Amino acid sequence: MKNNNIFITGVAGFIGFHLCYFLLKKNYRVFGIDNINNYYSKDLKLKRLSILKKNKNFYFKKISLNDYTNLRKIIKYSKSKIIINLAAQPGVRFSFIKPDQYINYNIIGFFNILRSMEELKIKKLIYASSSSIYGDAEKFPTKEYSKHKSINLYGFTKTVNESMAELYNRMSDIDSYGLRFFTTYGSLGRPDMFIDKILNSIITKKKIYLYNKGKHTRDFTHVSNVVEIIFELLKKINNYKGSDNFNICSSRKVSILDLIKKIERYKGIKIKTIKTGKQKGDMLNTYGSNKKILKFIGKKINFLNLEEGLKETIFKKYE
Residues engaged in binding ligand NAD (CB under 6 A): 9-10, 12-16, 33-37, 45, 64-66, 86-90, 105, 109, 128, 130, 181, 183-184, 190
CB of 17 or CB of 168, closer to ligand NAD: 17
The pairing of strands 208-210 and 58-62 is unpaired
CB of 268 or CB of 312, closer to ligand NAD: 312
Q: Closest distance between ligand NAD and the C-beta of residue 1, in Å?
A: 30
Please give the Cα distance from 83 to 180 (Å, whole number).
17
Please give the Cα distance from 202 to 199 (Å, whole number).
5
CB of 61 or CB of 215, closer to ligand NAD: 61
Q: Closest distance between ligand NAD and the C-beta of residue 60, in Å?
A: 11
Q: Closest distance between ligand NAD and the C-beta of residue 74, in Å?
A: 11
Q: Are 222 and 268 in contact (CB under 8 A)?
A: no
CB of 42 or CB of 207, closer to ligand NAD: 42
> Which helix H or strand E contains 120, and what residues bound it?
helix 109-120
The pairing of strands 217-218 and 254-255 is antiparallel
Q: Closest distance between ligand NAD and the C-beta of residue 131, in Å?
A: 6
Q: Are 27 and 3 in contact (CB under 8 A)?
A: no
List phi, psi (to 5°) of 126: -120, 130
Report whether the peptide linkage leading into residue 99 is cis, meaning its omega lies within 30 degrees of zero.
Answer: no
Look up 154 and say whether it is catalytic: yes
Question: Which entry of 154, 168, 185, 287 is annotated as an active-site residue?
Answer: 154
CA pseudo-torsion sign 142, 144, 148, 150:
positive
CB of 207 or CB of 282, closer to ligand NAD: 282
Helix, strand, or coil (residue 222): strand
State the alpha helices, DSSP H only, in 131-275. 153-172, 194-204, 223-237, 256-267
Q: Closest distance between ligand NAD and the C-beta of residue 71, in Å?
A: 8
| CB closest to ligand NAD, residue no | 13
Active site residues per annotation: 154
